[in-house]
Amino acid sequence: MANGTLKVSNIETSSGSGTITIGQSGETINIPSGATVSGAVANTPAFSVTNSALGYLTKKLSTFCSGKL
């Protein structure tokens, strides 16, 4: 199989519905820096937590995060 660049405006299934697979198991899909991702994956939540005060956390403190990825 030849290696190269696929340039298209739109990718659809031949039936108009179903699953479109990009790559295969074990491969990485790269989104270059500066590219824009839209759709469902664009709403991937991310957050950062820091302790900027001189405080201490107790051993009983716990945090639970839940949600769909």
End-to-end CA distance of the chain: 34
3-class SS at 43? helix
Give the per-residue pLDDT at 18: 86
What are the pLDDT digits (tens) for 2-61? Answer: 688 888 888 888 888 888 888 888 888 888 888 887 777 776 667 766 666 666 656 665
Choose among 15, 35, 31, 34: nearest CA to 23.
31
68 band by pLDDT with thresholds 50, 70 and 90: low
Give the per-residue pLDDT at 69: 52
